[in-house]
Amino acid sequence: MDPDPPAAPAQSKDEKLFLVIVIALALVAGVGSWFAAAALAHREKPHGIPPDKERRLGDFSLMDTAGRTVTRNELNGKVLVVSFLFTSCSLTCPEVTRHMAEIQRLAATNTDVRLVSLTVDPRSDTPSVLAKWGARFGVDTNRWLLLTGDKATLHGLIGNSFLAQDAGDPFNSMPGNFAGTDRIAVVDKRGTLRVFFDGLRPETPAAVAAEIGRLQKEN
């Protein structure tokens, strides 16, 4: 009598089960990768943050890094990119300033664009201190103003023209109790605050450059 044939059907079932498991794992991995890519793509599209209310750049008289007086009139007719800092800040302020430096590079050929950084701590951030800060980040003082001055003037300008204050927040260690000092503001040629961008996002310089381009096309 011939010997029994090998148990081919059982082996075939094991192979099919293994193949099903492999396909299922591949599908799970593929779907997970798709969701991760979609989330990353969404994160990499920064959206402008509207101001909390209608805000316009007010009058002021401040000092730049050379101790020169700078007034509102000097910025008339310019698209402004505005950030906020205090030089004793070791985390967010350097990152925002690095992104401002990238905006300076991207806007190098736009003669009607000015960058402005306002200190929230004028007692410590004197013109000479701001000059050292600017040198650290390659500030071109012909196109990027780092401004300090009287505390009441600075805080009044920032509070009225840009950022809300929350004096009731016991955890807010920011001088002036300003919220959103890690944002970068874009102001149109008429002095109206149009939009903020998150100053900590690496995609923000390109988004600000695109916003500048849109504003320059307006009448």
Output the pLDDT for position 117.
98
Output the pLDDT for position 172.
54
Q: What is the pTM of this model?
A: 0.78
Taking the C-alpha atoms of residue 111 and residue 114, their distance in angstroms, rounded to an integer, is 8
Task: Assess whether pLDDT exceeds 70 at residue 109.
Answer: yes
Q: Which residues contact 217 (CB under 8 A, 6 or more apart)?
A: none
Output the pLDDT for position 188.
97
On whether the CB atoms of residues 148 and 126 are closer than 8 A, the answer is yes
Q: Which residues contact 49 (CB under 8 A, 6 or more apart)?
A: 183, 195, 196, 197, 198
DSSP three-state, residue 40: helix
Tokens of 52: 């909390």
Kindly state the percentage of the chain with pLDDT values over 90.
69
Task: Supply the Cα-derived Rg of the chain in whole angstroms.
Answer: 27
In which residue are the tokens 């779907």 written? 31
Calculate mean pLDDT across residues 197-209: 97
Amino acid at 195: V
CB neighbourhood size of 176 (10 A): 21
- Output the CATH code of domain 61-216: 3.40.30.10
Tokens of 158: 């920032």
> What is the length of the chain?
219
Domain range list for the chain = 9-43, 61-216
Calculate mean pLDDT across residues 18-35: 51
